[in-house]
Chains A and B, each alone.
Chain A
Amino acid sequence: MSNASLVDSNASISTWTPGRTTALVLLLIAGGIVIWAAADRLLIDRRPIVVGILHSETGPMAVSERSMIDAEVLALEQINASGGLLGRPVRWVIADGASDWPTFAREADRLINDERAEVIFGCWTSASRKSVLPVVEAADHLLVYPMAYEGLETSPQVIYTGAAPNQQITPAVQWCHATLEARRFFLIGSDYIWPHCVNAIISDQLAGLGAEKVGEAYIPFGSTDVDQFVSQIRDAKPDVVLCSVVGDSVLAFFDALKDAGIDPEEIPVVTFALAEDELRSIDHADLVGHYAAWNYFQSIDRPENRQFVAGFKARYGQDRVTSDVIAAASNSVRLWANAVRESGTTDVRQVRNAMRRQSLDAPEGIIAVDPETQHTWRPVYLAKVRADGQFDIVWSSKTAVRPVPYPITRSRSAWTVLVEDLHRQWGGWANTGPAEGGQQ
């Protein structure tokens, strides 16, 4: 440098080289840009969203309800695998209702107040739902109930994703009347709230169709002493038996039917409580040729269903099967997740409102939540039991059916009176009889 000798300090001023300062400044700028680009991620709430699952893991209902838990867990796992909700992972707490109705109420309270769950997916039996209902209503919370039931109920705090009576019972009766040309119907059920309401609805429909009810009988909850009921049926000579028997009694009932020489070709039974999942765990030879009415069967031939079945088997084993409640439980989670995404929050009230307008291309067909009743539009299927424990679909409604929780054959208040009278008479949601002190 020729001028370095003149003024020493001038040298550094006059040379035009981006020195360390420049590098530092550029580094700072680059750092700023990186931080800014990452800010989106840094600012997001990453705490997990807590979801409550409330079913019986123990007790007589566990056999059925465990599959519901499986379906809900799988759907939640799939949500987490695809990045969670609102950028947050979902964490589920499984509470055990233990097939005991007061336990259900206590556990619901724990999920809401201690675990701070944003939603509860839960219940199978109507008795458990009726027990959980006051807890959920008092907390102004959200219960998603994925089970076909008797209707005659609406609650602003509950989204019903299973069938209302007109989406299962009524079409089945109609099909028996029109296709099987049945005119004499025998109604048999377990002795608790669901079968009693179902049979009241069926009785109205039979009167409307001009068909005859030749008998109505109730097997005590859980009893396997069914011979007297089978002989009642044999004596009444019905064209068809409509069966809302649940739990251990079902197997005994079908066993006894076969022993009594009642052939499905002569007196078919249409059941509202047995699906693929129950047939898996029992010897179903006695059931072949009888019918079931649901909103979903594993044999539904739709790409959405094939994918659903494959996903379930891949997660839980090739010997597992899907059924109506499994589909409904899975749909429940998906509908809720979409509602959370749409409302952009986990606030219970906002999510509940968003749920009222959800729809889904579900495995069984298009389903949609009805904003007025908070029940779900679902297609209806009637199917015949095959030797392999699967079902052959013999009739379908093709499109989703509007849910009608209160059948129009009676006024809403008349239905409410019916339910309340039964409750008062039994002192609970099941007829335990004066001698037994068992579960309500």
Chain B
Amino acid sequence: MMAPTPPPETLRQHRSLAVRLLFWFLLISLVPCGLLTAITTRLATQALEETVRERLVQIASARAEQLEAYASERVQDGTTLSRAPTVVSAVSSLRAVAASADAGQTPSALKQASEAFTDFLSYVTASFGYRSLLLLDADGLVLCSIGGDLVPGQVVTEGTLSASELAAGFDRSRTLLQSELGRFEPFGKSGEPVAFVTSPVFADGMVVGVLALGLSPERVWQVLTDTTGLGTTGEFLAAEQLRETARVTVPLRHRPDAAYRLTIPLASNEALGARLASSGNRGYEIFPDYRGEQVAAAWCYLPSYRWGLVAKQDASEAFALVRFQRLVIGGLLIGTLMVVVLVALFVARSISTPIRRAVDLARQVAAGDLRASVTSPPDNDQ
């Protein structure tokens, strides 16, 4: 590797050749590489975001379907039980007791007379999974009460009870002749939410009374607090519209005490999912939730409960994979760039040096110096 010190312009030529080669190497390797990376990143990001959307929509729909099926089974329970001969005969005979009892004596007379049916009624109440059972006559008088929500002798269409969901359900079942699942509302002294399944009781085609089954929301909450598939930040939010607010009706992962306590103003941005869901829409969006956290959420409507259901997950977790992927691809790109630059630099030099020598030689010969000879490195092309 000997060479006389080249004249300055030759050195410039050498550099320029090396830079030029380097430029082409980088262009040839990095542009397709960059383009490919950009394309795959975009496609992968789209696919990932679509997966998140599909997963949330699917989870929300599956839960909604499960809850609707649960509600319609409860309605069927009411229809089936109201046809049970024991129920029909209990209503008929207790009505007779109430009619014949002296004023003031009705509650105790009813209590005594209903003991004959208590065994059967307690058994079905427990085995069907209800917290209470009421038999009402066609005027709303409580004939028999299992589970202690009310006592015999009370009238559901009178006093404070008349504004309750129980009274509304009683009226619908008695007049529309159909079984109904009312809304979950805080009921009685405990203030725990209860929904009543009400069914008309027929004797000879006439409505003689109404059967009411008190349902706790535990089973519904169980379905909605099972956050399988929603990661470590996901949760289900169910809400109903109450005037200008959305009232949350289930315990939340981030607010275990939220049920019937947390309300979100409907006009606020945080209620987007709850608002749209509880007004009957279905959809998917990324928005800040009641905690101010950015979330990906899918929502749908539960007609049996008049609730909107939102399946949501923090965007940071839902799109963690997208971020991770960007990081990895970015890192890889920078790494590749560095390696390519180094290799290209080396290759450019190794090509440009012999060319420069040939040029030098030609110049020496042209100057009349015939002593010059070519020494080529042994590992070169020839």
Seen from chain A, the residues whose Cβ lies within 8 Å of a Cβ on chain B are 2-3, 6-7, 10, 13-16, 25, 29, 32-33, 36, 166, 170-171, 174, 177-178, 204-205, 207-210, 338, 342, 357-362, 365-368, 370-372, 377, 399-400, 402, 404, 407-409
Report whether B303 and A370 are in contact in the complex, using a CB–CB cutoff of 8 Å: yes
* A208-B362 CB under 8 A given contacts A171-B176, A361-B281: no
Max count, chain B CB within 10 A of own CB: residue among A15, A166, A205: A205
Minimal beta-carbon separation of A236 from chain B (angstroms): 21
Q: Which of B31, B64, B362 contacts A7 (CB 8 A)?
A: B362
Seen from chain B, the residues whose Cβ lies within 8 Å of a Cβ on chain A are 9, 13, 16-17, 19-20, 27, 31, 35, 39, 57, 61, 64-65, 68-69, 72, 75, 79, 175-180, 199-200, 202, 205-207, 279-282, 300-301, 303-304, 306, 359, 362-363, 366
Please indicate the chain A residues that have their CB under 8 angstroms from the CB of B207 in the complex. Answer: 208-210
Q: Which of A205, A209, A372 contacts B72 (CB 8 A)?
A: A372
Minimal beta-carbon separation of B172 from chain A (angstroms): 9
Besides the known contacts A10-B359, A209-B207, 8 further A-B residue pairs in the complex with CB atoms under 8 A apart? A13-B20, A29-B31, A208-B207, A359-B301, A365-B280, A366-B301, A408-B79, A408-B199
Please indicate the chain A residues that have their CB under 8 angstroms from the CB of B366 in the complex. Answer: 6
Please indicate the chain A residues that have their CB under 8 angstroms from the CB of B200 in the complex. Answer: 208, 408
Report whether B9 and A208 are in contact in the complex, using a CB–CB cutoff of 8 Å: no
User: Closest residue of chain A to B363, judged by CB?
Assistant: A6
Minimal beta-carbon separation of B86 from chain A (angstroms): 18
Please indicate the chain B residues that have their CB under 8 angstroms from the CB of A362 in the complex. Answer: 280
Please indicate the chain A residues that have their CB under 8 angstroms from the CB of B13 in the complex. Answer: 3, 10, 14
User: Closest residue of chain B to A18, judged by CB?
Assistant: B23
Please indicate the chain B residues that have their CB under 8 angstroms from the CB of A10 in the complex. Answer: 13, 359
Please indicate the chain B residues that have their CB under 8 angstroms from the CB of A29 in the complex. Answer: 31, 35
Question: Can you give 12 A-B contacts (C-beta < 8 A)?
Answer: A6-B363, A7-B362, A13-B17, A13-B20, A16-B20, A29-B35, A170-B178, A171-B176, A357-B282, A402-B303, A408-B177, A408-B200
Minimal beta-carbon separation of A322 from chain B (angstroms): 19
User: With the chains together, A204 CA to B176 CA distance in Å?
Assistant: 11
Minimal beta-carbon separation of B303 from chain A (angstroms): 4
Report whether A371 and B68 are in contact in the complex, using a CB–CB cutoff of 8 Å: yes
User: Closest residue of chain B to A15, judged by CB?
Assistant: B16
User: Closest residue of chain A to B279, judged by CB?
Assistant: A361
Report whether A357 and B300 are in contact in the complex, using a CB–CB cutoff of 8 Å: yes
Q: Which of B20, B69, B281, B362 contacts A359 (CB 8 A)?
A: B281
Minimal beta-carbon separation of A379 from chain B (angstroms): 11
Minimal beta-carbon separation of B164 from chain A (angstroms): 16
User: With the chains together, A170 CA to B179 CA distance in Å?
Assistant: 13
Minimal beta-carbon separation of A17 from chain B (angstroms): 10
Report whether A207 and B281 are in contact in the complex, using a CB–CB cutoff of 8 Å: no
Max count, chain A CB within 10 A of own CB: residue among B68, B200, B282: B282
* A359-B202 CB under 8 A given contacts A14-B16, A174-B175: no
Minimal beta-carbon separation of B51 from chain A (angstroms): 13
User: With the chains together, A171 CA to B173 CA distance in Å?
Assistant: 11
User: With the chains together, A401 CA to B69 CA distance in Å?
Assistant: 16
Q: Which of B177, B280, B304 contacts A366 (CB 8 A)?
A: B280
User: With the chains together, A358 CA to B68 CA distance in Å?
Assistant: 13
Please indicate the chain B residues that have their CB under 8 angstroms from the CB of A174 in the complex. Answer: 175-176
* A14-B61 CB under 8 A given contacts A178-B175, A361-B279, A408-B179: no
Per DSSP, chain B at the interface is: helix
Report whether B301 and A368 are in contact in the complex, using a CB–CB cutoff of 8 Å: yes
Please indicate the chain A residues that have their CB under 8 angstroms from the CB of B177 in the complex. Answer: 170, 204-205, 208, 407-409
User: With the chains together, A146 CA to B363 CA distance in Å?
Assistant: 95
Report whether B301 and A372 are in contact in the complex, using a CB–CB cutoff of 8 Å: no
Please indicate the chain B residues that have their CB under 8 angstroms from the CB of A399 in the complex. Answer: 306
User: Closest residue of chain A to B366, judged by CB?
Assistant: A6
Report whether A368 and B303 are in contact in the complex, using a CB–CB cutoff of 8 Å: yes
Max count, chain B CB within 10 A of own CB: residue among A2, A174, A208, A377: A208
Closest 8 CB pairs of A and B: A366-B280, A359-B301, A368-B303, A207-B205, A174-B175, A377-B303, A361-B280, A208-B207
Minimal beta-carbon separation of B24 from chain A (angstroms): 9
Report whether A367 and B19 are in contact in the complex, using a CB–CB cutoff of 8 Å: no
User: With the chains together, A365 CA to B79 CA distance in Å?
Assistant: 27
Report whether A402 and B75 are in contact in the complex, using a CB–CB cutoff of 8 Å: yes
Report whether B303 and A400 are in contact in the complex, using a CB–CB cutoff of 8 Å: yes
Report whether A359 and B206 are in contact in the complex, using a CB–CB cutoff of 8 Å: no
Report whether B282 and A338 are in contact in the complex, using a CB–CB cutoff of 8 Å: yes
* A402-B35 CB under 8 A given contacts A2-B9, A359-B282: no
Report whether A366 and B178 are in contact in the complex, using a CB–CB cutoff of 8 Å: no
Please indicate the chain B residues that have their CB under 8 angstroms from the CB of A359 in the complex. Answer: 280-282, 300-301, 303
Report whether A210 and B206 are in contact in the complex, using a CB–CB cutoff of 8 Å: yes
Minimal beta-carbon separation of A204 from chain B (angstroms): 7
Minimal beta-carbon separation of B64 from chain A (angstroms): 6
Report whether B281 and A360 are in contact in the complex, using a CB–CB cutoff of 8 Å: yes
Please indicate the chain B residues that have their CB under 8 angstroms from the CB of A33 in the complex. Answer: 35
User: Closest residue of chain B to A25, judged by CB?
Assistant: B27
Minimal beta-carbon separation of A396 from chain B (angstroms): 14
Max count, chain A CB within 10 A of own CB: residue among B65, B199, B202, B303: B303
Report whether B280 and A36 are in contact in the complex, using a CB–CB cutoff of 8 Å: no
User: Closest residue of chain A to B200, judged by CB?
Assistant: A208
Please indicate the chain B residues that have their CB under 8 angstroms from the CB of A205 in the complex. Answer: 177
Q: Which of B9, B39, B75, B280 contacts A367 (CB 8 A)?
A: B280
Minimal beta-carbon separation of A84 from chain B (angstroms): 19
User: With the chains together, A229 CA to B176 CA distance in Å?
Assistant: 29
User: With the chains together, A13 CA to B179 CA distance in Å?
Assistant: 91
User: Closest residue of chain A to B207, judged by CB?
Assistant: A208
Q: Which of B39, B65, B72, B359 contacts A36 (CB 8 A)?
A: B39
Report whether B64 and A357 are in contact in the complex, using a CB–CB cutoff of 8 Å: yes
Minimal beta-carbon separation of A103 from chain B (angstroms): 36
* A166-B176 CB under 8 A given contacts A208-B207, A210-B206: yes
Minimal beta-carbon separation of B79 from chain A (angstroms): 5
Minimal beta-carbon separation of B278 from chain A (angstroms): 9
Report whether B301 and A402 are in contact in the complex, using a CB–CB cutoff of 8 Å: no
Q: Which of A166, A368, A371 contacts B69 (CB 8 A)?
A: A371
Minimal beta-carbon separation of A5 from chain B (angstroms): 10
Minimal beta-carbon separation of A58 from chain B (angstroms): 37
Report whether B35 and A32 are in contact in the complex, using a CB–CB cutoff of 8 Å: yes
* A16-B19 CB under 8 A given contacts A209-B175, A357-B65: yes
